[in-house]
């Protein structure tokens, strides 16, 4: 998505060689109009797949997943990072190593909101090493649901998560794919 690549070049900040900060429009301050456009673009790529649920993980995936859910008229379920005391029903769980926090987190989704009749589209803001995505794919399998694929805003392709998921047969659609980056220079795949 050309508009996204331009926005990353204009507003993104590369930290070291591994982390891209896009706090001005996606991860801290959110540009709602732009996020809606990105959600519609992801939705259009999965139109006709019969998606019944959007799945993401709190917190940064929620805004984009909401935009996709609105465009596909499907409810959005977000995996919680800790089991709330209000969550007494049966749950699907996965352990995910957090790239940004450098710690393992336990994610849970209530079995009430994901089941074997669902066709699931996973949505997230970033795909890096694929830890978060693997956890979410695992949860879709636990539910016995069908996986339509994953829609990602920014894939950092050089970190390999996308390629290993594609090798497992998961359809990944990313709106911008970064092949390399360093402060002041970001290269995108065509």
The smaller minimum CB distance to ligand 5GP, of residues 148 and 153, is found at 153
Q: Which of 92, 46, 91, 86 is nearest to 65 (CA)?
A: 46
Is residue 27 near ligand 5GP by the rule CB under 6 A? Answer: yes
User: Which residues face 177 on adjacent strands?
Assistant: 155
Distance CA 1, CA 176 (A): 6
80 has binding-site annotation = no
Is residue 125 near ligand 5GP by the rule CB under 6 A? Answer: yes
Largest CA distance in the chain: 48
Is residue 132 near ligand 5GP by the rule CB under 6 A? Answer: yes
How many residues appear in the chain?
Answer: 190
Is residue 176 near ligand 5GP by the rule CB under 6 A? Answer: no
User: Which residues face 33 on adjacent strands?
Assistant: none
Is residue 155 near ligand 5GP by the rule CB under 6 A? Answer: no
Distance CA 170, CA 172 (A): 6
Distance CA 164, CA 41 (A): 24
Specify whether the CB–CB gap between 124 and 57 falls below 8 A: yes
129 has binding-site annotation = yes
> How many residues bind to ligand 5GP according to rule CB under 6 A?
19
Other CB atoms within 10 A of residue 25 CB: 20
The smaller minimum CB distance to ligand 5GP, of residues 8 and 114, is found at 8
The distance of closest approach from Cβ of residue 42 to ligand 5GP in the complex, given in angstroms and rounded to an integer, is 15
The distance of closest approach from Cβ of residue 124 to ligand 5GP in the complex, given in angstroms and rounded to an integer, is 5
Which residues 82-121 are close enough to bind ligand 5GP by CB under 6 A? 99-100
141 has binding-site annotation = no
**Residues at the annotated binding site for xanthine?**
20, 27, 156
* Residues forming the site for ligand 5GP (CB under 6 A): 19-21, 27, 60, 99-100, 124-133, 156, 161
């Amino acid at each position: 998505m050309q508009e996204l690549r331009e926005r990353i070049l204009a507003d993104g900040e590369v930290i070291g060689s591994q982390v891209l900060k896009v706090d001005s429009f996606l991860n801290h301050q959110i540009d709602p109009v732009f996020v809606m456009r990105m959600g519609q673009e992801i939705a259009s790529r999965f139109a006709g797949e019969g998606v019944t649920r959007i799945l993401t993980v709190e917190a940064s995936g929620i805004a984009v997943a909401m935009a996709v859910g609105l465009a596909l008229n499907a409810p959005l379920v977000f995996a919680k990072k800790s089991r709330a005391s209000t969550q007494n029903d049966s749950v699907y769980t996965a352990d995910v190593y957090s790239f940004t926090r450098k710690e393992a987190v336990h994610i849970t989704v209530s079995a009430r909101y994901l089941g074997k009749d669902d066709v699931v589209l996973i949505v997230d803001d970033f795909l890096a090493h694929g830890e978060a995505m693997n956890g979410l794919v695992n949860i879709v399998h636990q539910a016995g649901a069908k996986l339509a694929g994953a829609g990602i805003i920014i894939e950092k392709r050089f970190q390999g998560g996308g390629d290993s998921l594609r090798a497992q047969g998961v359809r990944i659609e990313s709106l911008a794919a970064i092949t390399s980056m360093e402060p002041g220079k970001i290269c995108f795949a065509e």
